[in-house]
C-alpha cells in the first residue's frame, strides 16, 4: 500500500501578510478549525493558517476525483463555485503572496516530493505548476533518513533558515510515494513600531491564575479599538478588541481580550465569522495605550484530525480517489502536518531605523488602555478583504522567548 504525506509548513515572523479573494469564505472554516483545536488542546497556545491549509488542500484536490474531490470541495466551502473555479482563486492568492511588496517579505514554496521512479500524471504536474507554482522533486523514501534530511534542507532553503526539522525520518518508509510540502515564510513590520527601550518585565496571569514574567512591549499610538459586550454580567461583561496594523495598512493583527477576571474560555465560544466582521466594522481609529507581550508561538498540528473533523475523510483511507494525480491504485494521504511559527516583537527582524516614535506620558490615562497581561485570542487578517491569514490564542506567552532576544537583557 502506498502512502502519501502532506506537510504543511508555515513561518510567520513578527507579523503577517498577503491578500486574497477567498477570505470571506474561509472565515467559517477558520472558526471551525479553531474550535476543533480548542477541543483537543486543553489549555495550549493555538496558531494555524487557514489560508495555508486551503492551499495545501487545493493541491490535494487537484489530484482527487469523484467523491474524494467532492468531500474536499464541500468542506472547503466551494459548493457555490463551479467545479474547478476555486483554482484560479487559489492561484491569485499564491501569486499575490509571491508578489514583491516593500512592506513585508512573503515567500510561499509549494512542492511535491515523489518517490524515484514513481509515475505522477503529467496533467496533474502541469496544473500543480500552473495554480500553485509547485515544484516537483524526486527522492527515495525507502532511504528515509536521507529523504527527511533532503526535505528539511529544502524547507530551510525556502524559509530563510527559519524552520528546521519539519519532517523526521519516522514520517517516511518504503511505502511512501509522495509528500506534499507547503511552506510559507513571512516577515513584516508594525506600522507603528514599539520602542525596545520601553519593553519591561511584566507579570502575565494565566487562566489557572499562575503568573509568569514576560517581556511586555509598550506604546501609545493610533490604533483601531472597540469595546464589546459578551452578554454576561461577569466583570461588566465587556471585552476589548484592538487592531494593530502592519506597515502598509493592508494587514493587521486583531486581538480580543477579556477582562482580567474572565478566562478566555468565556470569550472563545462567541467567536463566529459574523462577530469577526462586527469587530472589524466597529473598531474606531483612536489613541490607545498598548501593553503587548513580546512572544513566540510555535505549533505543530496534526491536520488529519482537524480535516477529518471538518468532513474530509476519504483522502485518508485506502479507497481514496486520487486518480487525477496518479494511475497507481490504493494511494492515500497518511500524514498531514501543519507547522506554524509566529514571533511578535517590537519592530520586526529587519526593521529600518526607528521613525514616528511617540513619547510616553504616564501622567494620566487619557486614552483607552489595552493591557495584554492575560490570555488573548488573535487574528491576522487582510483589512480590505477580511481574509484570515492566521488565527490563534496565546495562553502561555513565555514559551520560547528566543530568536535573538535575550530575556536577561531586559
Ligand atoms: C474516481 O472518480 C472518477 C470520477 O468520478 C471515476 O470515474 C473513477 O472511476 C473513480 N476511481 C476510483 C478508483 O474510485
Ligand atoms: C539548498 O540551497 C543550497 C544552496 O543554494 C543548494 O546547494 C541545495 O541544493 C539546496 N537544497 C535543496 C534541497 O533544495
Atom of ligand 2 nearest to the CA of 154: 13
**Residue 359 domain flag:** no
**Residue 355 domain flag:** no
Which domain CATH number covers 215?
2.30.39.10
**Residue 96 domain flag:** yes
CA of 159 to the centre of ligand 2 (A): 12
Torsion angle (degrees, nearest 10) of CA 124, 130, 133, 135: 40
N-term to C-term CA, the chain: 55
In whole angstroms, give the CA distance from residue 76 to residue 54.
7
Q: Parallel, antiparallel, or unpaired: how do β-strands 200-205 and 251-257 relate?
A: unpaired
The response to whether residue 65 sits with its C-beta less than 6 Å from ligand 1 reads: yes
> Can you give the pLDDT of all 410 residues of the chain as single tens digits?
445 555 555 544 433 333 344 556 678 889 999 999 998 877 889 988 887 888 888 998 999 999 999 999 999 988 888 889 899 888 877 776 666 566 666 666 677 787 887 788 999 999 999 998 887 788 998 999 999 999 889 888 877 777 777 788 988 888 887 777 776 666 668 889 999 888 888 899 999 999 999 999 999 999 999 999 987 766 668 899 999 998 888 888 999 999 888 899 989 999 999 999 999 999 999 999 999 998 888 777 878 888 998 999 998 888 889 999 888 776 777 777 777 777 788 864 332 222 222 333 344 567 899 999 999 999 988 887 787 888 999 999 987 544 433 333 33
Q: Is 150 exposed, middle or buried (0-12, 13-18, 19+ CB in 10 A)?
A: middle
Atom of ligand 2 nearest to the CA of 157: 1
Atom of ligand 2 nearest to the CA of 156: 1
Grid look-up 486543553 returns 42
Domain count for the chain, please give it. 2
CA of 300 to the centre of ligand 2 (A): 25
Query: Does residue 255 sit in the same domain as residue 316?
Result: no
User: Using a 6 Å CB cutoff, which residues line ligand 2?
Assistant: 150, 153-154, 157
Which ligand does the CA of 71 lie closest to?
A: 1
The kind and range of the H/E element at 53 are helix 50-63
Query: Does residue 285 sit in the same domain as residue 310?
Result: no
Query: Does residue 220 sit in the same domain as residue 174?
Result: no
The response to whether residue 323 sits with its C-beta less than 6 Å from ligand 1 reads: yes
If one residue of 322, 323, 326, 330 were mutated to test the ligand 1 pocket, choosing by the most ligand atoms within 8 A of its CB, it would be: 323
- In tens, the pLDDT along 75-86 reads 998 888 888 989
**Residue 348 domain flag:** no
In whole angstroms, give the CA distance from residue 239 to residue 221.
20
If one residue of 135, 150, 157, 160 were mutated to test the ligand 2 pocket, choosing by the most ligand atoms within 8 A of its CB, it would be: 157
Q: Which residues constitute the domain of residue 222?
A: 196-294+365-394
Sorted by sequence, the CB contacts under 8 Å of residue 11 that are 6+ apart come out as 159, 160, 162, 163, 183, 184, 185, 186, 340, 341
- In tens, the pLDDT along 161-193 reads 777 777 889 888 888 877 777 766 666 688 899
In whole angstroms, give the CA distance from residue 177 to residue 5.
8
| Closest protein CA for atom 7 of ligand 2 | 157
**Residue 326 domain flag:** yes
| Closest protein CA for atom 12 of ligand 2 | 154
CA of 111 to the centre of ligand 2 (A): 14
Query: Does residue 151 sit in the same domain as residue 104?
Result: yes
* Secondary structure of residue 155 in the 3-state scheme: helix
**Residue 379 domain flag:** yes
Amino acid at each position: 500500500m502506498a502512502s502519501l504525506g502532506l506537510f504543511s509548513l508555515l513561518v510567520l515572523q513578527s507579523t503577517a501578510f498577503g491578500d486574497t479573494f477567498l477570505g470571506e469564505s474561509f472565515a467559517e472554516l477558520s472558526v471551525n478549525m479553531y474550535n476543533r483545536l480548542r477541543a483537543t488542546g486543553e489549555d495550549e497556545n493555538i496558531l494555524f493558517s487557514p489560508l495555508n491549509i486551503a492551499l495545501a488542500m487545493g493541491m490535494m484536490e487537484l489530484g482527487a476525483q469523484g467523491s474524494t474531490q467532492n468531500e474536499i470541495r464541500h468542506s472547503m466551502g466551494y459548493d457555490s463555485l463551479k467545479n474547478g473555479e476555486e483554482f484560479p482563486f487559489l492561484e491569485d492568492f499564491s501569486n499575490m503572496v509571491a508578489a514583491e511588496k516593500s512592506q513585508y517579505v512573503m515567500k510561499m514554496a509549494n512542492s511535491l516530493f515523489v518517490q524515484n521512479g514513481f509515475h505522477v500524471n503529467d496533467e496533474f504536474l502541469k496544473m500543480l505548476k500552473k495554480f500553485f507554482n509547485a515544484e516537483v522533486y524526486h527522492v527515495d523514501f525507502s532511504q528515509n533518513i536521507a529523504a527527511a534530511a533532503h526535505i528539511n534542507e529544502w524547507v530551510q532553503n525556502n524559509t530563510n533558515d527559519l524552520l528546521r526539522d519539519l519532517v523526521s525520518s519516522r514520517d517516511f518508509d518504503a511505502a511512501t510515494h509522495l509528500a506534499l510540502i507547503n511552506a510559507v515564510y513571512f516577515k513584516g513590520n508594525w506600522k507603528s513600531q514599539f520602542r525596545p527601550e520601553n519593553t519591561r518585565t511584566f507579570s502575565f496571569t494565566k487562566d489557572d491564575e499562575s503568573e509568569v514574567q514576560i517581556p511586555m512591549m509598550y506604546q501609545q499610538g493610533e490604533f483601531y479599538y472597540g469595546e464589546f459586550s459578551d452578554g454576561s454580567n461577569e466583570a461588566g461583561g465587556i471585552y476589548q478588541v484592538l487592531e494593530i496594523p502592519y506597515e502598509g495598512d493592508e494587514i493587521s493583527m486583531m486581538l480580543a481580550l477579556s477582562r482580567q477576571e474572565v478566562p478566555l474560555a468565556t470569550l472563545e465560544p462567541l467567536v463566529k465569522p459574523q462577530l469577526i466582521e462586527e469587530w472589524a466594522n466597529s473598531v474606531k481609529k483612536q489613541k490607545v495605550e498598548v501593553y503587548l507581550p513580546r512572544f513566540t508561538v510555535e505549533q505543530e498540528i496534526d491536520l488529519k484530525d482537524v480535516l477529518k473533523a471538518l468532513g474530509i475523510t476519504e483522502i485518508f483511507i485506502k479507497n481514496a480517489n486520487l486518480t487525477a494525480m496518479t494511475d497507481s491504485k490504493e494511494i492515500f494521504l497518511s500524514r498531514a502536518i501543519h507547522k506554524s511559527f509566529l514571533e511578535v516583537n517590537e519592530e520586526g527582524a529587519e526593521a529600518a531605523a526607528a521613525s514616528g516614535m511617540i513619547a510616553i506620558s504616564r501622567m494620566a490615562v487619557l486614552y483607552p488602555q489595552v493591557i495584554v497581561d492575560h490570555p488573548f485570542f488573535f487574528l491576522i487578517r487582510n483589512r480590505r478583504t477580511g481574509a484570515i491569514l492566521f488565527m490563534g490564542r496565546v495562553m502561555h506567552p513565555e514559551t520560547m522567548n528566543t530568536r535573538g532576544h535575550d530575556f536577561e537583557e531586559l
